[in-house]
Chains A and B, each alone.
Chain A
Amino acid sequence: GQQLNQSPQSMFIQEGEDVSMNCTSSSIFNTWLWYKQDPGEGPVLLIALYKAGELTSNGRLTAQFGITRKDSFLNISASIPSDVGIYFCAGSGNTPLVFGKGTRLSVIA
C-alpha cells in the first residue's frame, strides 16, 4: 500500500528557533494535510493543501504541497513551548488517507 516517510522522527529545539519537517510519498497525492496532537487528545488539523505548489500559512505555521505531488513540508517559525507535541502529515490520492509516523517536537525554554 501507499507509504509516507516523515522526518525527522523527533526534534529538540530551543524556544524561538524555527522548525522544519517534511513528508515524502511513493505515490502521487491530491491532498496533503498536517495535524498536531497533544498528549491524550485527538489530532487537530493545522493546514490542508489541495493543489500542487500551494503554499499556505496558519499563524506561525507554513506548509507547502510539493510540485511533484509526492512531498510536503511544514515550517514553524519562532517556536514557543506550546508547540510541543506530535505533528503528523497525511496524504491521499484516490484511497483513504495515509498518515506519516509523526514528528515529536520538544521545545526547551
Chain B
Amino acid sequence: EADIYQTPRYLVIGTGKKITLECSQTMGHDKMYWYQQDPGMELHLIHYSYGVNSTEKGDLSSESTVSRIRTEHFPLTLESARPSHTSQYLCASSEARGGRGNTIYFGEGSWLTVV
C-alpha cells in the first residue's frame, strides 16, 4: 500500500491565478511523477524526477513546472492558470532500485477547474 498524499483534492480557480498542487510521499521513494488525465481518458506523463534536484519533462508538453528540493515532496506549479488546464493531476512515486523500480503508486489526484 502506498502512502502518497495530494492536496488540494478539488480546486476551482479563476483564469490567470497561480496555483501549486502539493504532493508528498512517506515511503522514501526516489522517483516521483506527475500525470495529467482528463475524465475517463488515458494518463499522460507531464513531469518526473529521479531524485532531489532532478526534474525532467514527460511525454506531454505542459506549461506547469515542478521542483524537487526534498525527497518526499514534489509540488507542481501553474504560474497563470487557463481553462485548458482544467483536468485531473495525479502524483505518483516508485522505488529507484531494481526491477520493481518502475512499479508506481498513485495519490488520489487533484481535480483542477479553471473558470
**CB pair A48 B103 closer than 8 Å:** yes
**CB pair B109 A42 closer than 8 Å:** yes
Closest to B48 in A: A96
Query: Distance in Å from the Cβ of A37 to the closest Cβ of chain B?
Result: 9
Tell me whether A97 and B42 are in contact in the complex, defined as CB-CB below 8 angstroms, given that A43-B90, A50-B99 are known contacts.
no
Candidates B42, B48, B108; contact of A99 at CB < 8 Å: B42
Q: Does A11 contact B (CB under 8 A)?
A: no
Cα distance A97–B100 in the bound complex, in angstroms:
11
Residues of chain A contacted by B96 (CB below 8 angstroms):
none
Q: Does A67 contact B (CB under 8 A)?
A: no
Query: Distance in Å from the Cβ of B28 to the closest Cβ of chain A?
Result: 18
Q: Does A44 contact B (CB under 8 A)?
A: yes
Chain A window 42-67, contacts with chain B (Cβ cutoff 8 Å), 1 for yes, 0 for no: 11110010100000000000000000
Spell out A's residues near B (CB within 8 Å): 1, 30-31, 33, 35, 39-45, 48, 50, 86, 88, 90, 92, 96-97, 99-102, 104
Spell out B's residues near A (CB within 8 Å): 2, 6, 33, 39-43, 45, 48, 58-59, 90, 92, 99-100, 102-109, 111
